[in-house]
Amino acid sequence: MPRPVTLVLGAAAFTGIANAQQYKLVDNFTEENFFDNFDFINQTDPTHGLVNYVAAQTANNQRLAGYYSGGVYLGADHTNQVSSDGRPSVRVESKKTYNHGLFIGDFAHMPEGCGTWPAFWTYGINPTWPDGGEIDIIEGVNAQETNAMTLHTGAGCSVTMGDVHSGTNLTTDNCNDNEGKNGCGEHSTDTTGYGSGFNAKSGGVYAMEWTSESITVWYFPRDSIPDGVLDTDTPDTSNFGTPAAQFIGGDGCIIDDHFMNHVIVINLTLCGDWAGKVWDEDSTCTAKASTCNEYVENNPDAFTDAYWLVNSVRTFEQTSSSKRDIPKPFTA
Ligand SMILES: *[C@@H]1O[C@H](CO)[C@@H](O)[C@H](O)[C@H]1NC(C)=O
Ligand SMILES: *[C@@H]1O[C@H](CO)[C@@H](O)[C@H](O)[C@H]1NC(C)=O
Ligand SMILES: *[C@@H]1O[C@H](CO)[C@@H](O)[C@H](O)[C@H]1NC(C)=O
Ligand SMILES: *[C@@H]1O[C@H](CO)[C@@H](O)[C@H](O)[C@H]1NC(C)=O
């Protein structure tokens, strides 16, 4: 039998591994390959936005999408008045699907302003929404100044909140998106993390880690990105510091039963079920027009800043050595 000291060391190492998830790079989507790896979704917006999601060639011809300034530009039309057909915009989805992993998005700019509803998110394509789950990493509407991170699932997923930045709290522990429910959200109070505050700092980095135990989001403003986030192929999330949001599955939510086969999505819709519905509650926006649709139809100039500029989206998987195994039995 090993001496007791071996057992103590083994136990300590096991705890360490549980927190320190080592990753290795899988995909590096940048100005060199982004559009080879994402599809344009040319469909009606299911959230009823005043938007016309155009196909790839149209988007590029109309300068709504392309490689630009060292990154990937994705935006809405900002030159034409539009009718109720909607303002041209884009929604792109990764060709690959993912189960678990670390996803790091580095954005120089995100869409901002009244009428906008941008999102950087993932969702399960099989089974169909919401049963494959949805993870909203960056999302908000109108002149909102802070980011909302949200999970949407089928019935039977109740989470708890981890140790996150002070000010963040959980809207509800029930992530079910059926029966008129809206998922479970953690809303940041950091005004550098969304919209104009984010853009004023030349953006920043959002990282999302998805394991069997939890779903965690970190935000790093451009001027405080720690070493080991962008400058490595093998990030270790135990060095990422306090997250902006963390949803822990525990007994209430078997994460692997509710989140699977996710694609990565970046979209920009306008008005619709969120931005349009809360227009009246946003004094900055109501001062500009009486309804969201009226504003979006008649004010192309207002959408000059309604674009994403993506430096990179990178994906990582856990290295097998860091996957949590059952501790090895002692050999006799
Ligand atoms: C990702 O690709 C870019 C070029 O598009 C390169 O500069 C960068 O070093 C790559 N990053 C990693 C981690 O491989
Ligand atoms: C855009 O993204 C948000 C992300 O939460 C999503 O709810 C909405 O349906 C999306 N609009 C579409 C389908 O493009
Ligand atoms: C698809 O894109 C074309 C142009 O690229 C556009 O005319 C059409 O309205 C789009 N269809 C939908 C359903 O968004
Ligand atoms: C959530 O946060 C807001 C402001 O940050 C606070 O007013 C509210 O009381 C909090 N709710 C809970 C349930 O902690």
Residue 139 annotated among the catalytic residues of the structure: yes
CB-count burial class (<10 Å; 0-12, 13-18, 19+) for 16: exposed
Q: What is the pLDDT of residue 46?
A: 87
Q: Ligand 2, closest atom to CA 152?
A: 5
Pick the ligand that lies closest to the CA of residue 26.
1
Ligand 3 centre and the CA of 61: distance in Å?
13
Give CA–CA dist 20/240, Å, rounded.
Answer: 10
Going by alpha carbons, the residue nearest to atom 9 of ligand 2 is: 47
- Residue 13 is predicted with a pLDDT of 36
For residue 187, report the distance from its CA to the centre of ligand 4, in Å.
10
CA of 267 to the centre of ligand 3 (A): 15
Ligand with minimal distance to 168 CA: 4
Helix (H) or strand (E) run with residue 170 in it: strand 169-170
pLDDT at 307: 98
Measure the CA angle with vertex 200, ends 144 and 243; round to 5°. 65
The C-alpha angle 251, 252, 254, rounded to 5 degrees, equals 75
Contact predicate 246/218, CB 8 Å? no
User: Per DSSP, what are the bridge partners of residue 317?
Assistant: 24
Tokens of 150: 């949200």
Residue 134: active-site member = yes
Nearest CA to ligand 4 atom 9: 169
127 upstream amide cis, omega within 30 of 0: yes
**Residue ranges of domains in the chain:** 21-322
- Burial (CB < 10 A; 0-12, 13-18, 19+), residue 190, is middle
Q: Averaged in consecutive runs of 10 residues, what is the pLDDT profile of the chain (332 residues)?
A: 37 40 93 98 90 96 96 97 95 98 98 97 96 98 96 97 94 91 94 97 98 97 97 95 97 97 97 93 96 96 98 94 60 56
Residue of 42, 43, 47, 74 with the most ligand 2 atoms within 8 Å of its CB, for mutation: 47
Residues with CB under 6 A from ligand 2: 45-47, 91, 119, 121, 136, 139, 267, 269
| The ligand 2 atom nearest the CA atom of 49 | 11
Is the CATH code 2.60.120.200 the one for domain 21-322? yes
- For 52, residues 6+ apart whose C-beta sits below 8 A from its C-beta are 82, 85, 86, 87, 88, 89
